[in-house]
Structure 1
């Protein structure tokens, strides 16, 4: 099945529980012999489809038609890859996103006091005092999200558990898919943070001192390379509101970009093939306009995974207690903010039938009675 990146229609979410089509029967002896020879691969294919369906994935793997019947798909790792192709894509999509995002933070922070051999500020860096500034971080996260979506195109390119949750809630993505995507996204951020640390460990030692690891508000803290920390002047309510409003904006705009019934800019439907680029500008804008207070985490996988890695690497329990136990705010606020942003878009703009907002009692009736069928208005033939 040929696919295009970041196109929800390619994943056929509404048919996630459909069974694979049965092979055509043939009365010829040659066809019967061929069927017998391929009985074992067919059984493996049925097992693969069953496992994928159990996980909430579409029974058919999203691969190119030319790759579908190649012999190497009978190898053990090939079968594992076909079974978990979308979770693998989400893992590496988040991995790429965090590598570029945390990498930009590390370069800007750790080069800010670069010194030469004489102990003076190094003049090898642009401007003589470091490699980049805050806008470099906004660029890094924007690029990371855009490239991560390209990597995870066949999985939907969600890269964020809160966004996955909203597509389950508002767009019919199977709920069974949510936990496997959540684990894949979390592990992607967790592993990426470890790679960033391995790459920058000498720079961290140079910046803080060998073996010294601290968190904000320490003036030499490097924990902010991996996850977000709030400004010390913020109250808990302000911390929460900052993450909530950025998450709301994120989800509202994503639904607009993915809405094919929305003519959007220049008369086009949705963002189409420009979706990854549009997300680049969205993330860049959120960072440029709302990043100062809490660092706009807006993503459990981007914040909690690297935070856990920094704890394991020696930053200590302060990664949980800093900011008056701020660590839970990006988790809860991202889910609530994205849910609210999706609600706003569907309540005031979206007209599609799959959203529960467009059902009796704004979806509450379906919540109480999930067995009720989703009614779709039949399209008249032209």
Structure 2
């Protein structure tokens, strides 16, 4: 018997939104742990290349979705969550709670990786925490632009990168288009998107394409010795770009996918299923990532059970 079974009644959360927030925190913690650790290896050692950084970011997303997808659907990205809310996959009232949990998970992951890489960090910068210069280390945690690239160029880079991310996400989740037959392949597909984006569009400003993944670590560096520099960089003209750019790109990506692909499918029969959320509001019964997301239970049971009964 697992040792925590005897304490399960004490530790088990009963509120569904609390469970989902914990899952988003946990999943984002895993995602950012891989991302920051890969950057640390790249900067502090000769054991890594930028290709391995991209691979680690992609695999970090894969493992994060496997870890948290069964509870919350593993959005792990406030920009992607906007598109999912627009489509009805996530109810809007959950959006701020998911975002807070994701930023907190990214902050915690940065703190842990700071501790793990503390000695290498000190050996590299001599204890002088800086955002720019030959021994700058803030970029290990959050993204910064190429010195040759303007803020305006970086903004459009973030818009386009997240646009690509979102249209690919919907292509995978759209069961009438290219959803993998085996739902367990969906996390691998999602990780493949991030890996591909990193190999194609990292040069301008590091492909944050996720406000939580960038803001959480940036907040950590601000309180861990770097001061205001991670925010005041380029006269406060940079830090908002990896936050606002992905939000704009995700919104555009959602509408482009709808206008180019999804609205052209033949209408499906209306479902008689009724889904009532924890706060009593009606929600759309959908498959988010092909897992038993507690927010999407129909009157016939869990989505995965219904799918298995049709086979």
TM-score, length basis structure 1? 0.65
Measure how far apart 1:323 and its partner are: 3.6
Determine the C-alpha separation between the residues in 2 that align with 1:318 and 1:208. Answer: 16
Which of 228, 232, 236 is residue 143 of structure 2 equivalent to? 228
**2:253 aligned partner:** 341
Unpaired runs of at least 5, structure 1: 1-69, 112-129, 356-373, 375-382
Work out whether 1:98 is the aligned partner of 2:98: no
- Equivalent residues of 1:258, 1:270 under 8 A apart: no
**2:92 aligned partner:** 175
Work out whether 1:151 is the aligned partner of 2:67: yes
Measure how far apart 1:80 and its partner are: 5.3
Q: Which has the higher contact order (CA 8 A, sep 6+)?
A: 2
Task: Summarize the Cα distance change of 1:174–1:82 in structure 2 as closer, same or farther, 3 Å threshold.
Answer: closer
**1:110 aligned partner:** 44
**1:237 aligned partner:** 152
Determine the C-alpha separation between the residues in 2 that align with 1:192 and 1:80. Answer: 26
**Alignment of structure 1 residues 125-140 onto 2, 5 Å:** 130-140=46-56
Measure how far apart 1:82 and its partner are: 5.9
**2:57 aligned partner:** 141
Measure how far apart 1:83 and its partner are: 5.8
Determine the C-alpha separation between the residues in 2 that align with 1:90 and 1:79. Answer: 15
Determine the C-alpha separation between the residues in 1 that align with 2:192 and 2:101. Answer: 25
Measure how far apart 1:214 and its partner are: 0.6
Measure how far apart 1:270 and its partner are: 6.9
Which SS does the other structure have where 1:275 is aligned? Answer: helix
Determine the C-alpha separation between the residues in 1 that align with 2:226 and 2:76. Answer: 26
RMSD: 2.4
Measure how far apart 1:79 and its partner are: 3.3
Measure how far apart 1:205 and its partner are: 0.6
1:333-377, Cα deviation, whole Å (9 max, x unpaired): 010001101111011101389x9xxxxxxxxxxxxxxxxxx9xxx
Determine the C-alpha separation between the residues in 1 that align with 2:17 and 2:244. Answer: 31
Task: Summarize the Cα distance change of 1:274–1:134 in structure 2 as closer, same or farther, 3 Å threshold.
Answer: same
Which SS does the other structure have where 1:185 is aligned? Answer: helix
**1:288 aligned partner:** 199
Task: Summarize the Cα distance change of 1:349–1:308 in structure 2 as closer, same or farther, 3 Å threshold.
Answer: same
Total equivalences in the alignment: 263
Determine the C-alpha separation between the residues in 1 that align with 2:134 and 2:6. Answer: 58
**1:253 aligned partner:** 168
Which SS does the other structure have where 2:130 is aligned? Answer: coil
Measure how far apart 1:174 and its partner are: 1.0
TM-score, length basis structure 2? 0.79
Work out whether 1:350 is the aligned partner of 2:262: yes
Determine the C-alpha separation between the residues in 2 that align with 1:212 and 1:323. Answer: 20
**Alignment of structure 1 residues 7-26 onto 2, 5 Å:** none
- Equivalent residues of 1:90, 1:157 under 8 A apart: yes
Unpaired runs of at least 5, structure 2: 268-283, 285-311
